[in-house]
Structure 1
Amino acid sequence: MNTRIGKFMEGYKRAWEGRDDSLLCALFAPDGVYHNTPFDAQIGRLEIARYWDRVKLQDDIRLDYKIVAETANGGVATWSVTYKVTSEKMFEMWAKSAGTGMINRRPGDPLPRLRLEGIAVVELGPDDLCRHFRIWWHSQVAKTDST
């Protein structure tokens, strides 16, 4: 993508799929803000990197996005990601953040593949670094291993 938001979203995709907090942080201004929900935010690269540690508990990550609006300073994109949960800790974080509680699992059952779908509003500075990244999302257990 040659658009400003397209370049940002492509970097976001590479960072998440590669579980690369350095790449993610390089997309943000030093004082950039990552609003992971409407009610919480990480301010600055250090806080963003700490929040992003959770992706290290994911595997086989696949992210797709679609630009739905472009502005002079960024735009709006929809996104969808699936990943395999690699630890009980990640599964518990998901269950708490989803607000749905734990799904029925017996001891020893494999951890699920999760699907998150959301929308992102991206505000970029003149240097193309992200000033504000706001996401709203919903998560659920993926229906199959490939979705």
Structure 2
Amino acid sequence: MAEPKSWIEGYVRAWNSNDPDDIAALFTSDAVYYTEPYSSPWQGREEIVSQWLGRQDKPGEATFEWHPVTMRDEVSVIQGVTTYPDKTYSNLWVIRFVPDGRCREFTEWWMRHDLK
């Protein structure tokens, strides 16, 4: 069974470094990355890296806390909270792994918390 902890640690490291090699190491060459419901995914490692860098956050700008909802042999569902200085998001991630622990399909759904 793929263990999501090390992959998520790598994701957070890539999130904070914006290093193309850190990002690329997370995904298979033919991976797909769904950034929101009903939109076309980023297809292939090269496009994932390029699109990620086009939307990058500043290093250390956000914190991410998470826990598993379910873990199976090839897929994990993760619930998280991303906190920026001025906004907070709830996250739901579906991560489909290959046996070596890289991701072949990633789906992230996020919702901004209401400001009151």
Total equivalences in the alignment:
114
Tell me the C-alpha RMSD between the 2 structures: 2.4
Identical-pair percentage: 29
The structure with the largest helix share of the pair is 1
Deviation at 1:64, TM superposition (A): 1.3
- Please say which of residues 11-20 and 116-125 is displaced more in the overlay: 11-20
Q: Quick check: 1:47 aligned with 2:47?
A: yes
Pairs within 5 Å for 1:1-147: 4-38=3-37, 39-53=39-53, 54-56=55-57, 60-84=61-85, 113-140=86-113
Give 2:95's aligned amino acid: V
TM-score of the pair, normalised by structure 2 = 0.82
Give 1:130's aligned amino acid: C
1:104-138 per-residue CA deviation (whole Å, 9 max, x = no partner) reads xxxxxxxxx23221100110011211000011111
Deviation at 1:27, TM superposition (A): 0.6
Corresponding residue SS for 1:37: coil
TM-score of the pair, normalised by structure 1 = 0.67
Structure 2: which 5+ residue stretches go unaligned? none
4+ aligned runs moved over 6 Å, structure 1 = none
